[in-house]
Amino acid sequence: MFVAKHGADLSHHVTLTVPDGLTWDVQFKRGSNGGNGAVSFQIGQLAQFFEYYSIRAGHLLLFKYHGNSQFLVIILDTSACEIKYPAAADDDSSDDHCSEGRPSEIKSSDEEEEEDYYVHASTERNERYAKRAILIGDEFQSENPFFTLALQPAYVKRKYLQIPSSFNDMHMFTPGKKIRAQVKDGSEEFWILGFPMERKPDDRRLTVGVASFLKDNDLNAGDVILVELMKEMKSGYLDAKIHIFRANRA
């Protein structure tokens, strides 16, 4: 329906605009049936787009066509909440997008006739990373709370760690408390990790100390870390043991 209505207006290259103001140029390819067939976004900046916003299997993208080969793209996470865009992550004035109904930016008035188009987004690579992290977590046994995290390219590039939404013990991260992370290799060395100073209640992104932690432990995209949080409090920090499962780089 979309191609039949707008196909004549679309060029082979289109621009995706995200609410954070960034634009991404990608190739628009029609299927074998010509103007009314299936379409897809390919090459161009598509790979960088997926990496920058950490888009993985289960995310939902909403496209609104604004004419002249221009699309507005809204990104929803696996809980159907609009993500916190990286470029606006430190903007305290940004709205909480996780509310009932559709994001306000894409609501159309009664006079508008524009349609919204949803697609599920996934990349084979990031999905493979996530599945490996789940398997590692399923096999690990501990009386302490823990979570696994597959390092996505965006985590390594932008130096943050995103605590998964499946982790149900966020109450352990009391305001201002930092994590004293020790890699389980017999070393006494540790790293202090923490949330941004002005952290919002729903923010699960560790940023403080992450750059040094990633560099010192030679962590790369595809590696999986398992963070085991100690119940017994031995200091003012939240002690954690980090188990590293490296990707096969052969």
Average pLDDT over residues 88-116: 44
pLDDT tens readout for residues 4-28:
666 566 667 788 888 888 888 887 7
pLDDT digits (tens, 9 = 90+) for 50-78: 888 888 777 778 888 777 878 888 888 76
Residue 211 in contact with residue 157, Cβ under 8 Å? no
Query: Which has more confidence, 185 or 176?
Result: 176
**pLDDT band per the 50, 70, 90 thresholds, residue 119:** very low
pLDDT tens per residue, range 209-250 = 999 999 999 999 889 999 999 876 666 788 999 999 998 754
| pLDDT number for residue 102 | 42
pLDDT for the residue 14: 80
Give, in degrees to the nearest 5, the angle at Cα 153 between 134 and 54: 75
Using DSSP's 3-state secondary structure scheme, residue 250 falls into coil
Q: What pLDDT is attached to residue 80?
A: 65
- Is residue 184 helix, strand or coil? coil
Strand 238-245 and strand 179-183: the pairing is: parallel
Domains, in order of start, for the chain: 2-121 (2.40.330.10), 125-245 (2.40.330.10)
Contact criterion met (CB below 8 Å) for 84 and 94: yes
Helices (H), ranges, 119-225: 124-139, 153-158, 210-216
- What pTM, to 2 d.p., does this model score? 0.53
Q: Is residue 161 within 8 Å of 193, Cβ to Cβ?
A: yes
Task: Answer whether 30's CB lies under 8 Å from 79's CB.
Answer: no
Mean pLDDT (the chain) is 75
Which position has the higher pLDDT, 35 or 44? Answer: 44
**Type of residue numbered 167:** F
pLDDT at position 240 = 92
Q: Is 82 helix (H, G, I), strand (E, B) or coil?
A: strand
